[in-house]
Chains A and B, each alone.
Chain A
């Protein structure tokens, strides 16, 4: 498998993502600077990592969504390449219009950083197939703006089409319908607030995140 991790100014989980993907799948992972206008050929997975791209100026992810590399990410997503936005990456995908909705300030106003239990709501996606029949996963969240918001019609559509992939068991931030992760209508673009890149081996407290990267590899 060939993967790329996009590095924005202010990304801080980019190297975590590289190591997580390499150790989970043995994939060849390239770091791609946000100013690039070409992506490596033959990618199976593009990850937009967590962090505070552009210092969260204007809105989380708003500036990064307009980075030069994002037109290539958009084109790859349209071609069907798997794209995963984790934490700030999820915010960027929403700002770029590649996923519906937006991430608001956490309802409790606090930055929440802790392991959370997740329900794997859809086990049939390119990002969850390796979970088998496991409906529960544990990963860490670390964000101040992870409160997923979309209008009711959008939420109903996400729910009806099985596009809610992860839900919080115990909602830490006020997210609508306890949403922790969603996919686009084609199922190849995932956004999630919890970090699979912080849960890829037992020493980290959970290795459930490895299953996510292994799922992508199996579908590559």
Chain B
């Protein structure tokens, strides 16, 4: 069956996210002083064909470990639906 995979990739906590910092200070400059801890990441979407959801989930995680995320600096979250 074909499912929709969504992968969220973010820098790990503790890894300096300079883009997040810059966006945060821009938000602050626009008056949103309540915004804090902004992190900028990326979302990767694709269709995946697999026997079932668990298999698809495992495959997408393998893709993350091999290519979609760099485990040295990034963490990821996988949604398969």
Contacts and interface: CB of A to CB of B under 8 A. Distances in A.
A105 B19 contact: yes
Interface residues of A, number: 20
A104 B67 contact: no
Interface in B35-49: none
Contacts of A147: 16
Most chain A beta carbons < 10 A, residue from B15, B16, B19, B73: B73
B18 interface: yes
Nearest to A97: B72
Contacts, number: 34
Interface string B58-70: 0000000001101
B50 interface: no
Q: Is the interface of B mostly helix, strand, loop or mixed?
A: mixed
Interface in A131-152: 147, 149-151
Contact of A107 (B11, B18, B70): B18
Q: Bin the interface of chain B by size.
A: 10 to 19
Nearest to B14: A151
Contact of B70 (A59, A66, A109, A174): A59
Given A59-B70, A107-B16, A109-B19, 14 more contacts: A62-B67, A95-B70, A100-B72, A101-B72, A104-B11, A104-B15, A105-B19, A107-B18, A109-B22, A147-B16, A149-B15, A149-B72, A150-B72, A174-B16
Interface of A: 58-59, 62, 66, 94-95, 100-102, 104-109, 147, 149-151, 174
